[in-house]
Amino acid sequence: MLTLYSIFQMVLSPELIILIVAPIIFIISEIIFLKIGLKITKAEKRTNLKWVVGSLFIQIGLIAFIGVPLIIMGVSGEFDDGGPNLAMFIPLLIIGIFLEINLINVIHEPGFGKSIVVFIFFVIPIVITISVLIVFLT
């Protein structure tokens, strides 16, 4: 039987701890940065925490949906000869950024220009989390 005492007696590797803690810190920092971005741009609608969390998960889902072709290419071994095909990667990146900015504009209605600022605040925790995972797990 697994008890609380036995859980604390387990020796966990630092990589496993980072894999457990990084998503938690990522979600919390995303909520904070998205809320800050909405406050700075003085978004008019749906700025309470319920809508911010919902918007966050919708945006992460959109990023995952846009990234599915690249994930499938990576799993199938197509990147073995030097990385992703730039002819496919760049249009996906442009379409993804455009959809993300429009999604922020539709949900929170800050205006298209201010949605770019909110998007930049949204991307900061993503870049930091990916950098930390790359540094500590390679």
Specify if 133 maps to a domain: yes
Any domain includes 80: yes
Alpha-carbon 76 to chain mean position: 23
Q: Report if residue 130 sits inside a domain.
A: yes
Predicted pLDDT of residue 4: 61
- Please report the pLDDT score of residue 68 as a whole number: 85
- Whether 13 maps to a domain, the answer reads no
The tens place of each residue's pLDDT in the chain, 138 residues long, gives 566 666 666 677 777 778 888 888 889 999 999 888 888 888 878 888 898 899 899 998 988 888 888 788 878 877 777 777 778 788 888 998 999 999 998 988 888 888 999 999 989 998 888 888 888 777
pLDDT of residue 29: 92
17 inside domain? no
Q: Is residue 100 part of a domain?
A: yes
pLDDT score, position 8: 64
Q: How far from the centroid of its chain's Cα atoms is residue 115's Cα?
A: 16
Tokens of 60: 């992460």
Domain that holds residue 34: 25-38+46-137
Helix (H, G, I), strand (E, B) or coil at 109: coil
Helices (H), 1-111: 4-9, 14-40, 49-75, 86-108
Residue 4: inside a domain: no
In a domain, 99, yes or no: yes
d(CA 50, CA 71): 30
Do 46 and 107 form a contact (C-beta atoms < 8 A)? yes
Number of domains making up the chain: 1
